[in-house]
Amino acid sequence: MAERQTAEQIAEHRVVSVQWQGRTKYTYYDDGIVKITRYKKRKVYWGRIFAALVIFVLLAAGIVQLIKAALTAFANDKTEIQVNSSLAATYSAEESAAEPAVTDESSAADSTSSTADSAAEPAYSNMNFTVCIDPGHGDYDKGAVTSDEKYESDQDLEIGLKVKEYLESCGVSVIMTRSEDVQVSLSERCAIANQGSADFFVSLHRNSVSDNASESGVEIWVNSNQPQYDTALAQNILTALGTAGISQDRGVKYGYSGWSDQNYQVNMDTVMPSCLIELGFMTNDTDNELFETKQTEYAKAIGDGIIKTAIDLGVCAEDGTRKLSEQLLSDSKANVTQQY
């Protein structure tokens, strides 16, 4: 009660003057009383201020981005409408000016030609290595024969020359064991590859079976020792042929048909990685049709498989630069001695 009376009494007095010293206020009354009031320094919360500024900046930036996105979407929609309208007008004009349609036969021929041309386009360039391509049989050795009297020796040469053409378009050096219908012994074929310092040897054949016309597909034969390099060559070619389109993938096989401990001579007496391709059965109608219609695709697939192996085994880089200083030798043929 005394405190309240004192406050009331002070309130009745007249203020004479007010003075400040720093944050202290001195109030002087006419009866000599001095009221002293101290004011605390207000705390500034800088952290909160900074956080608020950051949030404000982010919100402002977000709003700006939203506006930009909306304007861009609007502009794109407008452009797309204009382009579509232009294209529609162009197509309409072309259709109205088009000449009479060609016959189905001509159209099919053009389509086949276009497909073949695109399939022949090289996938690589400047590949610095050498491969020996060996079209099987030749001259009086006709090999297998189709029901309409087409000979294996001729078809081996056809596909061999196409493989050569494709590989050379990729920069690969190609040695042919034969480029025409001549007889070349198996020993001579191996000698041509070995003396030519070829990095790979690929022999081309077609298969046949006398008692089962349903047998079909592609198989590739490798030395019975199952060399890693030779197997890689065969598998890469077989995979590429599968992509090109074959009736059946019969797999990579080792040795000689019917005798796993024997070898085809071309897989035994060559020193480089080698394989023998049986490119479908001449006694199977489907395989014969595929061979006739897909020779260009098959040639490209065989070539691409060979080139992929050269890159995988470090013979050359993907840009074609030669990396191996010497001829590539098979890793485990009986007639090959590796020097380490």
- Please give the backbone phi and psi of residue 60, each rounded to the nearest 5 degrees, phi first: -65, -45
Q: Which two tokens stand for residue 61?
A: 């930036």
Task: Give residue 8's pLDDT.
Answer: 52
Q: pTM higher than 0.85 for the full model?
A: no
Q: What share of the chain is helix, strand, coil (3-state, %, to 5)?
A: 45, 20, 35
Report the DSSP beta bridge partners of residue 252. Answer: 220
For 179, phi then psi, to 5°, come to -120, 10
Distance CA 239, CA 304 (A): 10
Do the Cβ atoms of 37 and 25 come closer than 8 Å? yes
- Say if CB 248 and CB 215 are below 8 A apart: no
Q: pLDDT means per 10 residues in the chain (340 residues)?
A: 47 70 66 62 72 85 80 60 47 46 41 45 90 97 94 98 98 98 97 97 96 93 97 98 97 93 95 98 97 97 98 97 96 75
Q: How far is CA 199 from CA 79, 185, 226, 265, in A?
A: 56, 21, 18, 17
The pLDDT assigned to 149 comes to: 92
- Residue 226, sorted as left (phi over 0), alpha (psi -120 to 50) or beta, turns out to be left
The residues spanned by each domain of the chain are 7-38, 90-312
What is the fold of 90-312?
A: Aminopeptidase (3.40.630)
